[in-house]
Amino acid sequence: MALLSKEQITTADDRQWEDVDVPEWGGTVRLLGMSGTERNAYQSSLVVIGPNGSVQRMNMADQLAKLVGKCLVGEDFERLFTDKEIKALGAKNGAVLERLGKTCQRLSGLRKEDMEEAEGKSEPTPSDASTSG
């Protein structure tokens, strides 16, 4: 397989999305997997850093709403809820947010098994041997 150029990488349409029925809300929503920048911002929002720069505690307030809010988009693939509007989303049915959150995690590579694979803790996948020379 040929090596990709910077332009090919930056123009590749690689974000996954899925339309999910939400009968509790009377319709269907579209969830778009987070970009790397969005995912980092989401993960950072869950951590409270102390004055010495170390992790002081986890901030789990509205964590499901934050996750779903970053992924919930309209037909134009633009976010429906801004970060400032997350509280309104957090007021919705927790079971619905949990269900949508699981889809968001899968689309964004945030499931436990995705994280373990990224950290190299899961079973290695067969790949072609490479050498540099």
Question: Mean pLDDT per 10-residue run, the chain (133 residues)?
Answer: 95 95 98 95 88 82 93 97 94 97 95 65 49 47
Whole-model pTM above 0.85? no
Question: So where are the chain's domains?
Answer: 16-33+62-117
Task: Identify the bridge partners of residue 21 per DSSP, sorted by sequence position.
Answer: 28
Task: Identify the bridge partners of residue 30 per DSSP, sorted by sequence position.
Answer: 19, 73
The architecture CATH gives domain 16-33+62-117: 2-Layer Sandwich (3.30)
Sheet holding 27-32, edge to edge: 17-22, 27-32, 72-73
Residues 69 and 86: beta-carbon distance below 8 Å: yes
Rounded Cα distance between 114 and 43, Å, is 15
Token duo for residue 77:
């693939």
